[in-house]
Amino acid sequence: MSGANSSNQVECISVIIPVWRDSPSLRNLIARLRCFSEIREMIVSAAEPSANLKNLEALGAILLQNGEPNRGRQLNNGARIANGEWLLFHHADTEFTAEHAAAIAALDPTDVVGGAFYRKFDERHPHLRGLEFFERWHCRAFGTIYGDQSIFVRREHFVRMGGFAPLPLMEDVEFSARLRRSGKIELLDPPMRSCAQKQIEQGAWRVTLRNLLFLVLFRCGVPVKRLHAWYYGLDRQFPSIVEPPQISPRRRPCTQTDRQHMRL
């Protein structure tokens, strides 16, 4: 990792946040992001947005409305209007601090095409904390990087990759494999923490095993739309749980070639 010059560290990151309907943690996230000089813009790519999301525009966020929930397509739509050198695909219930922003801004864009943050084991996995070193090695060497690790990619490289596959679920798994093959990636500190509420309420092992099952089914070829219906059908049993291109040079309109790259 090589340090970028100070001029590249200001407003170099476009944060793209996919949401479905509403997210109670989103307002606090937007309020934090606007304080970081590295953040150029915050794009909330929403499916079936609630009226509450419209208030985010007053905080400086760009609200992009989509049709049916499809996280891969939502991420692509957000990326299409982004202008930052780095695209950061971030979940609404995942923390983001000044240290995270600085770590991305310090990357050398001529050396690294993208990456993500390490994952932090916390109160959800008290018996797994001893394996955190192994998990860091596994993730750094060849493991899948997931959406809750906040995947980031150079904007021009994202375009050359064709963006995310338009999948409503497992879009991060599919994208991770292509990203690793496409160039050098970096796994960064500080580790990323997501909201523990779901795993604490449902049980960490239950959620972990369920996610593993869905990953196996995806790799076995079960249609993603069916997995999406099953996944969120299971979540609805727990009502307190929160949800689930050549990208143009700055401000250039999207061309027909761009749209073909994005495969939307």
Q: Where are the domains of the chain?
A: 10-262
In angstroms, rounded to a whole number, what is the distance separating the alpha carbons of residues 124 and 113?
32
Predicted confidence at residue 208, as pLDDT, reads: 74
Predicted confidence at residue 249, as pLDDT, reads: 44
Q: How far is CA 93 from the centre of its chain?
A: 11
Q: What confidence category does residue 5 fall into, taking pLDDT thresholds of 50, 70 and 90?
A: very low
In angstroms, rounded to a whole number, what is the distance separating the alpha carbons of residues 120 and 21?
27
DSSP 252: P
What are the backbone dihedrals phi and psi of residue 122, each rounded to the nearest 5 degrees, phi first? Answer: -135, -145
Cβ-contact 113, 175 below 8 angstroms: no
Query: Buried b / exposed e across 128-160, counting CB within 10 Å, b at 16+?
Result: eeeeeeebbeebeeeebbbbbbbbbbbbbbbbe
3-state SS class at 180: helix
E strand spans, 155-252: 185-192
Between CA 254 and CA 261, with CA 256 as vertex, the angle to 5 degrees is 85
Name the pTM for this structure: 0.80
Pairing verdict, β 13-20 and 86-89: parallel
In angstroms, rounded to a whole number, what is the distance separating the alpha carbons of residues 74 and 92?
14
Mean pLDDT of 89-105: 96
In angstroms, rounded to a whole number, what is the distance separating the alpha carbons of residues 197 and 27?
17
Predicted confidence at residue 24, as pLDDT, reads: 79
Q: Mind listing the pLDDT tens digit for each residue in 6-44?
A: 445 789 999 999 999 777 789 999 999 999 999 999 999
Q: Mind listing the pLDDT tens digit for each residue in 244-262?
A: 344 444 444 444 444 444 4
Predicted confidence at residue 127, as pLDDT, reads: 58
Domain covering 10-262, topology:
Spore Coat Polysaccharide Biosynthesis Protein SpsA; Chain A (3.90.550)
What percentage of the chain reaches a pLDDT higher than 90?
A: 55
Pairing verdict, β 114-119 and 151-154: antiparallel
Q: Which of 220, 194, 219 is nearest to 207 (CA)?
A: 194
In angstroms, rounded to a whole number, what is the distance separating the alpha carbons of residues 98 and 32?
9
